[in-house]
Amino acid sequence: EADPEMMAKKMIAHIDLKRKALGIDKARERVLMDMEMRRQLEAAAGEEH
């Protein structure tokens, strides 16, 4: 493909297809964590091991 913009669109379409195949094409809710939340998560993870 000579047109770089068209090439990029084809690449993105290809990536989207692969994501869908893997089931990772859904937008995930992102949570911003402060240090206290991280410490609690790490403490909880530490208890499991």
pLDDT in tens, 7-37: 999 999 999 999 889 888 777 777 788 999 8
Which value, to the nearest 10 degrees, does the dihedral of the CA atoms of residues 27, 33, 38, 39 take? Answer: -150
Q: Where are the alpha helices (DSSP H) in the chain?
A: 4-22, 35-48
* pLDDT at 3 (0 to 100): 93
* pLDDT at 23 (0 to 100): 82
Rounded Cα gap, residues 25 and 12, in angstroms:
12
Rounded Cα gap, residues 48 and 44, in angstroms:
7
Is pTM beyond 0.75? Reply is no
Of residues 49 and 4, the one with the higher pLDDT is: 4
Given a contact cutoff of 8 angstroms between Cβ atoms, the answer to whether 23 and 31 are in contact is no
pLDDT band of residue 49 (cuts 50, 70, 90) is low
Q: What angle do CA 11, 9, 20 make, to 5 degrees?
A: 60
* pLDDT at 1 (0 to 100): 60
